[in-house]
A = this chain, B = another copy of it.
Amino acid sequence: MNRRNTPSKEAILDLLSGSKKALSQDAIERQLDIEINRATIYRVLNRFCEDDIVHKIVAEDGKQYFAICKKCDDPSEVFQHHFHFRCLSCDTIECLQVPVEYSVPNGYEVQNANCVLTGVCDDCS
């Protein structure tokens, strides 16, 4: 149950921390300096998710992308569910600072939101 510090964890966390984009397992594997097994990368990422260090986005391509959970500038306000943007041109996914707002019919209880907008980002337009 108790977490241990390992080179794998550290390398993956460093990579995600320094990235402006959400990364998939294979992007992480490619960008890493050290070699880490695929299964290990997934296990590390899933543990980060359990610990709320990282959140997972599932895009329209059906793949999982992972991004660091950042707090808002206003530390009193927890960073809520937000939109993600997938650029079809540069094929990247990023977290938008845009909260997801919705209302649901009576009796519906929402536990999570996975919202991805697709299009062309500023850099590519």
Residue ranges of A at the interface with B (Cβ–Cβ < 8 Å): 56, 58-64, 83, 85, 88, 96, 98, 100-123, 125
Contact B64 A62 (CB under 8 A): yes
Contact B104 A101 (CB under 8 A): no
Q: How far is it, in angstroms, between the C-alpha of A80 and the C-alpha of B117 when the chains are bound?
A: 14
Q: Taking the full assembly, how many copies of this chain does it contain?
A: 2
Contact A102 B122 (CB under 8 A): no
CB-defined contacts of A107 to chain B, threshold 8 Å: 121-123, 125
Contact A117 B88 (CB under 8 A): no
Known: A109-B120, A110-B117. A96 touches B104 (CB 8 A): yes
Q: How far is it, in angstroms, between the C-alpha of A100 and the C-alpha of B56 when the chains are bound?
A: 20
Contact A63 B60 (CB under 8 A): no
Task: In the A-B complex, list the 4 residue pairs whose CB atoms are closest, starting with the nearest.
Answer: A107-B122, A115-B115, A62-B62, A111-B119
Q: Quick one: which of B101, B109, B110, B112 contacts A60, CB cutoff 8 A?
A: B112
Contact B98 A103 (CB under 8 A): yes
User: Can you list 27 A-B contacts with CB-CB less than 8 angstroms, sorted by A residue number?
Assistant: A56-B60, A58-B60, A58-B61, A58-B62, A59-B114, A60-B114, A62-B62, A62-B63, A83-B104, A85-B104, A85-B110, A88-B111, A98-B103, A98-B104, A100-B102, A101-B101, A102-B117, A106-B122, A108-B121, A111-B119, A111-B120, A112-B119, A113-B115, A113-B116, A114-B114, A114-B117, A115-B116
